[in-house]
Every structure is written in structure tokens, then in C-alpha cells.
Amino acid sequence: MKGLSRDRLWSIAVLTPSIILIAVFVYGFIARSVYVSMTDWGNDPAQALALNPIIRFTGLANYQDLFTGFLQGRFRQELISTIFFTLFFILGCLGLGLGLALILDRNPRGEGLWRTIFLFPMSLSFIVTGTIWRWMLQPQGGVNQVTTLFGAPPSTFAWLSSTDSIWKFDWNKLPLLTASVVGVVLIVLAVRAARNGERTRTLVAGACAALLLGWALLIGPNLKLLPAPEFHGFNLALIGIIIAAVWQMSGYTMALYLAGLRGIPEELREAAKVDGANDIGMYQHVIFPLLAPITLSAMIVLGHISLKIFDLVYAMAGPDNVNTSVPALNMYLTSFRQNQFALGAAIGTILLILVAFVIVPYLTSQFRTEEGKA
């Protein structure tokens, strides 16, 4: 009776409460939110806060509204902003964190002090960081006064209030763009597979690419999501928020990288030196490859922070600034200010899917390696 040993019973007894709690309060509520996002709760103000509201099932209407509805241009801009924010935030944190870690790895004087200083911003909450940086990025604020130190007139860059954006594209062309990008990626895959001599792979990838590109050329241009062109791009006002976010989180990546660097055995470096590697070669061929798993886990952590970011933006640019807004902020305003609970739940669900895109591949790879080891 291996199945009912004392240990097993104990472990089941100990685990059951948390399994039940997680089932109800995490997965149950996720299911409830997804259900609410497919109803019309809140579209009629009279029903939104009534004692026994009449809620009707409307399928994917809320999602359709978010992606193609005339009024939801703000949400679409936020999606684009989130993508740019995530990209620059992760790149900034990884770059700065790695740089600081490499410097500290050379054992400078007062290393412990520097480590504390660089790691310190992480102990603040985003709302504090946001408030400090909002002061510094005001039109007459600290950052714009820096140039006066060198005798130049103060800079006039509108850090948080700029309404200009770059890299604009028409939302109507989004299906076309997506299909083209995926098509090109598939072609690259097909060419690679052909070089490696994998026939089925080449054929499948090639056929998919042809199908997608054909669609993009023939049907894509005629497809209109919106009646009028709608341009979205990278708003310059986001730069200020990215700077603050990088300032806050790069200490964390530094700590991760520093731990990684210290974990590389001295023998490896010595062996590389004996083999005649110079500094650059050693980093390129020995150290950076060993840091790759750290980069991955840092990207996962930073990625989901940046997708869910709310408090930093709220503190720095305020809730009503469309140019710097993010989906989480819109979700809060839609649900709790406009009382449109269904639409808010739909935005929440989209955020969940975005986070899942980041987390799920990571989790599966973790499980695989664990199984491989066991």
C-alpha cells in the first residue's frame, strides 16, 4: 500500500487547503472574469450597480469593440505603447544591469557599498519612484535644468507631456503587417530547414509562408478594421516613464548577473587564459554563454512586470493622459470609473493572455528540464 503511506496522507492533508484556496481564488476568479468579459454587464448604466443586475451573454462583442470599435482608440494605442515599453524596458534593464555587474565583478574598491547603492531603488515601490521622477521630469524640473550646469539654456523636452510619436503605422494595416512579418519568418525557417535537409519541415513552413504572404498580398489590403485610418506609434512621453522604470529595476538585473558571474568557476577562466583567450574573447565565448539562462529568467520577470505596469504610470503621468496610458490603467478606469465591468474584464483578460505569452513558454521549459533531471 504505497499509495496510502503516512507520508503521503500527511502531504495530501497539508496541500489540500492551499489547492482549494488557489482553485477558488485564482483559477475560479480568472474563469469568472473571463465569463464577465463575455457579457454586457455595465453597458447599461441602470444595470451596472443595481442590486440584481440583468446580465446578458454577448460572446466576443467586447473584444471586437476593443480591437475595432470606434471609441476604443485609446486601448489600441495602449497596446502599442505596452509593446514599445516592454521592449525598451527589458533592453534597458538588461544592458544597464549587465554593465554594472561586469564593473562590480572586477572587484572595485567599496564594492559592497556600490552594490547596495545600485540595488537600493528596487526597495522603493513604483509609486514612490514615480513621484520622485515626476518632479525631476517636470518642464522646469531637474532633468531639464542639467544643461544649465554647462552654461547652456535649459532643455525644453516635454518628458511626460509630449504628444509627438514616432514609428507610426495605420491600425488598419495591422493584419497585413502581422501576416507579412510571420510570412517572412516562416520563409527564413523554411530556408534553414532546407539547408539542414529536413524535407517535411521545409515543405510545411514554405506552404504556410506562401499562404500567409498570398493572403497579405491579395486579401489583406482590402480588409478594413476601422472606417478611417488610425495611427499609432511610440509616444515620446513614454521615454520618461521608461527611464524611471529602468532606474528602478536595473539593480535587480545587476544582482542576478553578479550572482551568475560569481557562479562561474575560476578554473574555466584560467583554462581560457591558458588557451590564449584575451578579455574580449573570454567574455564572448565563455562568460556570456554561461549567463544566457540568467538573461532568460530576468526577461521573464521584467516582462510580466512591464505588461502589468500601473502604479508607475499613474504616479508619473496621471490617469487621464492618453499618450502615456497602459492597458492596466485603462482597465481600472473602465471598471471603476465608468462602471463598465464587462469591458474592464475584457481588457484584463487580454492582459492575462499577454502575460501568459511570456510565462507559459518559460514554465514549460522549466518542467522539461526538471523531468530531464529526475
Partner 1 sequence: MKKALLLAAALAVTTSASAAGKLEIFSWWSGDEGPALEALVKLYKQKYPSVNVDNATVSGGAGTNAKAVLKTRMLGGTPPDSFQAHAGQELIGTWVVAGRMEDLSSLFKSEGWDKVFPKDLVKLISTNGKPWSVPVNVHRSNVMWYNPAKLKTWGVTVPKTWPEFIKTCATLKGKGVAAPLVVGENWTQQHLWESVMIGTLGAQGWENLWSGKLKFSDPRVVGAFTTFGQVMDCANKDASGLSWQQASDRIIDGTSAFNIMGDWAAGYFTTTKKLTPNAGFGWAAAPGTTKTFVMLADSFGLPKGAKDRAEALNWLKVLGSKAGQDAFNPLKGSIAARTDSDLSKYNTYSKSAAADWKSNKIVGSMVHGAVAPESFTSAFGAVIDQFVSSKNAQGAAAAAQQLAVRAGISK
Shortest Å distance, C-beta 338 to partner 1: 4
Q: What's phi and psi for 232, nearest 5 deg?
A: -130, 145
Shortest Å distance, C-beta 307 to partner 1: 21
Judged by beta carbon, residue 1 or residue 46, the one nearer partner 1 is 46
Nearest to 210 by CA among 182, 237, 229, 244: 182
Contact 233, 73 (CB under 8 A): no
Judged by beta carbon, residue 289 or residue 318, the one nearer partner 1 is 318
Judged by beta carbon, residue 223 or residue 333, the one nearer partner 1 is 333
All three cell numbers of 89, joined, read 524596458
Residues making contact with partner 1 (CB under 8 A): 42-51, 70-71, 73-74, 138-139, 158, 160-161, 163, 228, 237, 317-323, 333, 336-340
Q: What's phi and psi for 124, nearest 5 deg?
A: -85, 155
Question: Cα–Cα distance between 32 and 29 in angstroms, integer?
Answer: 5
Shortest Å distance, C-beta 221 to partner 1: 23
All three cell numbers of 43, joined, read 453597458
Helix axes 73-105 and 327-336, enclosed angle (nearest 10): 140
- Give the Cβ contact number of residue 64 at 10 Å: 14
- The set of residues, in sequence order, having a beta carbon less than 8 Å from that of 50 and lying 6+ positions away, is none
- The set of residues, in sequence order, having a beta carbon less than 8 Å from that of 82 and lying 6+ positions away, is 306, 307, 326, 327, 354
The helix (H) or strand (E) run that includes residue 286 is: none
β-strand partners of 166: 234
Judged by beta carbon, residue 33 or residue 339, the one nearer partner 1 is 339
Judged by beta carbon, residue 128 or residue 208, the one nearer partner 1 is 128
Shortest Å distance, C-beta 226 to partner 1: 11
Judged by beta carbon, residue 42 or residue 303, the one nearer partner 1 is 42
Judged by beta carbon, residue 36 or residue 205, the one nearer partner 1 is 36
Shortest Å distance, C-beta 299 to partner 1: 32
Nearest to 78 by CA among 288, 351, 338: 351
Shortest Å distance, C-beta 29 to partner 1: 16
Shortest Å distance, C-beta 28 to partner 1: 19
